[in-house]
């Protein structure tokens, strides 16, 4: 079916300001009820707007259950084990590993984890089950022999789910939950190491006072206590509202739960509105202590909340996330292999391009910021990796994530002189003077405008070599041999064999330095050269490093830069003058 776009052509709403001429459209927005008509949170004196997140919550990855259910091709045992090992290596201490009553594959994976030594001693696994007796029994069978496990019971409690999916009223769903919770308690008996979790699925669309009643009754039945706390997980199963409403719902529960000191308050946001991360952060402000989600946000529809983004958001606020994300590319590669889904190039923190600047203004700010950071670290007497981070356009130091600085600045037709100069300096050891940066940027612009493609650091270096360094040898004026001598106070003589437009001759000149003597020799050959600026530096540490010289010359009335490179500073300088002449 091919739908043509229909540009909004309705009236401009009454009272709209003159600067907003947007018109009424034809999309059927009237079919949808706003969130405040679907869920109403009782008034209370909320505190979350002024709270601060000062420590990491308990992170619980659900990649192996919720995330696995969302894959077109669920993980095989090898990929599941690789994902589990990654989660352990990153430092997760509670991991939801499966829905063992849903498939033989999930059941078998949990049984594999029951083998001695399969799960580290400080890691607890979580298994998921609906409130159906035979499925609860299958779930307990899967964890036989497991030292530490959380049995996660769930039932949908929202009106539409009650009426359409379960076909029960409020009391009927309440009985379903309590029967399931009682069966869990009977099967657990006095087994050590088994704790309980309950999720009123679609909590965010459930009447708050009803969700509170169900949760309080479950914690009472399970006899929740501070030394054996119950996890109450309050999911935004399908996002329907702005994150502030979810925060209100979480704080309402946080304030009113009957056994608050015996409850680990958990959240499980989804991302249907694209605000899963915001929902989780506001929920933490509102009293949540535990967050379920997936690495890079995999999950049904638009996914579960992204634990990597949440953790690194804390890191950038000076809060230890208590996870190791220092090799973000290896984490990304592993997740992509296990999920067979790519992490987008613009994904927060982990995408291939998130630390990359193409824009000239961004590149210039980053280049200056990096130089300032290095100088600040030196002033403080600490390594750059330990100095306070404050670089424009980079909210996090890429090195914290195991990324090099090579890809921070990349060049295309949108780039400016600052980014070009940064790449030449970091990748090729060439520290161009400012006016040369401007001149070379024009050559880069011509090249990228013509191809429409990005120019790599190698291609940038090749272009500089062709445009400047090689021009001492490729042009109408070539120096086939030369010698210079210091013949008196402030007097240097230069004699060289010049081939000009194919005609060769020997020319001499004198001056107060080798370059002025060279320009005098060129003048004798009919080429008037005035040196306007001169800069030279080594391209690296040590005595064997090559020297590079940059010379701005006025040649027969035309100003051009030249560059030369050699292990000899004098030779590099002479080549730079010839480069300018030939350009």
Same domain assignment for residues 79 and 158: yes
Region for 417 from its dihedrals, namely left if φ exceeds 0, alpha if ψ lies in -120 to 50, beta otherwise: alpha
Which residue range(s) make up the domain with 538? Answer: 472-582
Same domain assignment for residues 202 and 83: yes
Same domain assignment for residues 183 and 235: yes
Q: Which of 453, 469, 485 is the last residue of a domain?
A: 469
pLDDT of residue 365: 86
Q: Tell me 314's DSSP state.
A: H
Name the token pair of 281.
């952060």
Report helix, strand or coil for 83.
helix
Number of domains observed in the structure of the chain: 3
The answer to the question of residue 552 being in a domain is: yes
**Phi, psi angles (nearest 5°) of residue 179:** -65, -45
The answer to the question of residue 411 being in a domain is: yes
Q: Which of 419, 449, 469 is the last residue of a domain?
A: 469
Global pTM? Answer: 0.80
386-426 pLDDT, tens digit each: 999 999 989 999 999 998 766 676 665 566 677 788 788 88
The answer to the question of residue 27 being in a domain is: no
The answer to the question of residue 36 being in a domain is: no
| DSSP H or E segment with residue 154 | strand 149-156
* Binding-site annotation: residue ranges: 66, 268, 270, 304
- Assign residue 457 the CATH number of its domain: 1.10.287.1400
Distance CA 425, CA 106 (A): 53
Q: To the nearest whole number, what is the mean pLDDT of the chain?
A: 93
Hey, what's the torsion of the CAs at 333, 334, 337, 343, to 10 degrees?
-50
Same domain assignment for residues 451 and 481: no
Distance CA 363, CA 380 (A): 26
269-300 pLDDT, tens digit each: 999 999 999 999 999 999 999 999 999 999 99
Q: Which of 405, 437, 469 is the last residue of a domain?
A: 469
Per-residue confidence band for 96, with pLDDT thresholds at 50, 70 and 90: very high
Parallel/antiparallel/unpaired status of strands 491-500 and 477-488 = antiparallel
Per-residue confidence band for 323, with pLDDT thresholds at 50, 70 and 90: very high
The answer to the question of residue 319 being in a domain is: yes
Same domain assignment for residues 460 and 542: no
Per-residue confidence band for 493, with pLDDT thresholds at 50, 70 and 90: very high
The answer to the question of residue 9 being in a domain is: no
Q: Tell me 270's DSSP state.
A: B
- Assign residue 302 the CATH number of its domain: 3.20.20.70
Task: Indicate if the pLDDT at residue 541 is higher than 90.
Answer: no
The answer to the question of residue 51 being in a domain is: no
pLDDT of residue 376: 95
Distance CA 77, CA 71 (A): 14
Tokens 């280049």 label which residue? 367
Helix and strand counts by DSSP (H, E) for the chain: 18, 14
Distance CA 296, CA 343 (A): 7
Same domain assignment for residues 456 and 550: no
Same domain assignment for residues 442 and 369: yes
Q: Tell me 357's DSSP state.
A: B
Task: Indicate if the pLDDT at residue 221 is higher than 60.
Answer: yes
Q: Which residue has the higher pLDDT, 391 or 454?
A: 391
Same domain assignment for residues 148 and 274: yes
Task: Indicate if the pLDDT at residue 202 is higher than 60.
Answer: yes
Query: Which of these, 31, 29, 13, lies nearest to 21 by C-alpha position?
Result: 13
Choose the weakest-confidence range: 266-275, 290-299, 318-327, 524-533. Answer: 524-533
Q: Provide CB contacts within 8 A for 29, sequence distance 6+.
A: none
Same domain assignment for residues 329 and 377: no
Neighbours of 68 (CB within 10 A): 28
pLDDT of residue 539: 86
Same domain assignment for residues 168 and 317: yes
Per-residue confidence band for 315, with pLDDT thresholds at 50, 70 and 90: very high
Report helix, strand or coil for 564.
strand
- CA dist 577 → 49, 87, 421, 466, 477 (Å): 65, 60, 21, 15, 11
Same domain assignment for residues 370 and 517: no
CB 281 within 8 A of CB 313: yes
Parallel/antiparallel/unpaired status of strands 290-293 and 263-269 = parallel
* Binding-site annotation: residue ranges for Mg(2+): 66, 268, 270, 304
Residue 395 burial by CB count (10 A; 0-12/13-18/19+): exposed, middle or buried?
middle
Name the token pair of 578.
């010839």
Dihedral over Cα of 429, 434, 440, 441: its sign: positive
The answer to the question of residue 321 being in a domain is: yes
Choose the weakest-confidence range: 399-403, 429-433, 453-457. Answer: 453-457
Task: Indicate if the pLDDT at residue 363 is higher than 90.
Answer: no
Same domain assignment for residues 394 and 261: no
Average pLDDT, integer, range 2-24: 91
pLDDT of residue 162: 96
110-135 pLDDT, tens digit each: 999 999 999 999 999 999 999 999 99
pLDDT of residue 411: 62
């Amino acid at each position: 079916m091919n739908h043509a776009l229909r540009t909004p052509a309705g009236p401009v709403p009454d009272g709209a300001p003159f600067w907003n001429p947007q018109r009424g459209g034809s999309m059927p927005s009237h079919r949808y009820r706003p969130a405040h008509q679907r869920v109403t949170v009782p008034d209370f004196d909320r505190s979350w707007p002024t709270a601060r997140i000062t420590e990491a919550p308990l992170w619980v990855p659900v990649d192996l259950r919720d995330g696995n259910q969302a894959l077109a091709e669920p993980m095989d045992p090898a990929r599941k084990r690789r994902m589990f090992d990654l989660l352990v290596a990153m430092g997760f201490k509670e991991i939801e590993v499966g829905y063992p009553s849903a498939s033989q594959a999930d059941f078998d994976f949990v049984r594999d984890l029951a083998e001695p030594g399969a799960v580290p001693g400080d890691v607890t696994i979580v298994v998921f089950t609906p409130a159906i007796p035979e499925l609860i029994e299958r779930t307990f069978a899967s964890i036989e022999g497991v030292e530490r496990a959380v049995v996660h019971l769930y039932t949908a409690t929202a009106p539409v789910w009650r009426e359409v999916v379960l076909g029960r009223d409020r009391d009927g769903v309440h009985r379903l939950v309590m029967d399931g919770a009682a069966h869990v308690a009977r099967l657990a008996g006095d087994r050590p190491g088994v704790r309980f979790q309950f999720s009123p699925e679609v909590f965010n669309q459930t009447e708050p006072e009803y969700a509170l009643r169900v949760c309080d009754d479950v914690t009472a039945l399970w006899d929740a206590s501070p030394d054996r706390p119950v996890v109450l997980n309050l999911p935004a199963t399908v996002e329907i509202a702005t994150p502030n409403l979810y925060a209100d719902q979480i704080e309402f529960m946080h304030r009113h739960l009957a056994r608050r000191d015996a409850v680990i308050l958990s959240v499980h946001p989804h991302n249907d509105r694209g605000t899963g991360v915001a929902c989780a952060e506001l929920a933490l402000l509102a009293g949540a202590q535990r967050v379920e989600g997936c690495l890079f946000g995999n999950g049904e529809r638009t996914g579960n909340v992204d634990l990597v983004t949440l953790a690194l958001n804390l890191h950038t606020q000076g809060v230890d996330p208590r996870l190791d994300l220092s090799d973000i590319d290896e984490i990304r590669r592993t997740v992509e292999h296990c999920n067979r889904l790519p992490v987008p190039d613009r994904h927060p923190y982990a995408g291939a391009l998130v630390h990359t600047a193409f824009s000239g203004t961004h590149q210039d700010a980053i280049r200056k910021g990096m130089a300032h950071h290095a100088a600040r670290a030196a002033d403080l007497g600490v390594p750059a990796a330990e100095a306070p981070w404050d670089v424009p356009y980079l909210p996090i130091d890429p090195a914290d994530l195991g990324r090099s600085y090579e890809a921070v600045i990349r060049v295309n037709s949108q780039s400016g002189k600052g980014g070009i100069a940064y790449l030449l300096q970091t990748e090729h050891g060439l520290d161009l003077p400012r006016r040369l940066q401007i001149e070379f940027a024009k050559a880069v612009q011509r090249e990228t405008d013509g191809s429409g493609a990005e120019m790599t650091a190698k291609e940038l270096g090749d272009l500089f070599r062709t445009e400047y360094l090689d021009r001492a040898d490729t042009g109408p004026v070539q120096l086939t041999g030369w010698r210079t001598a210091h013949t008196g106070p402030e007097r240097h003589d230069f004699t060289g064999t010049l081939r000009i437009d194919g005609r060769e001759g020997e020319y001499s000149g004198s001056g107060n330095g080798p370059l002025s003597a060279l320009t005098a020799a060129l003048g004798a050959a009919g080429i008037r050269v005035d040196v306007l600026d001169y800069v030279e530096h080594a391209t690296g540490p040590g005595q064997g490093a090559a020297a590079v010289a940059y010379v701005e010359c006025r040649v027969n009335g035309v100003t051009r830069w030249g560059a030369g490179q050699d292990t000899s500073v004098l030779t590099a300088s002479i080549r730079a003058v010839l480069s300018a002449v030939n350009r």
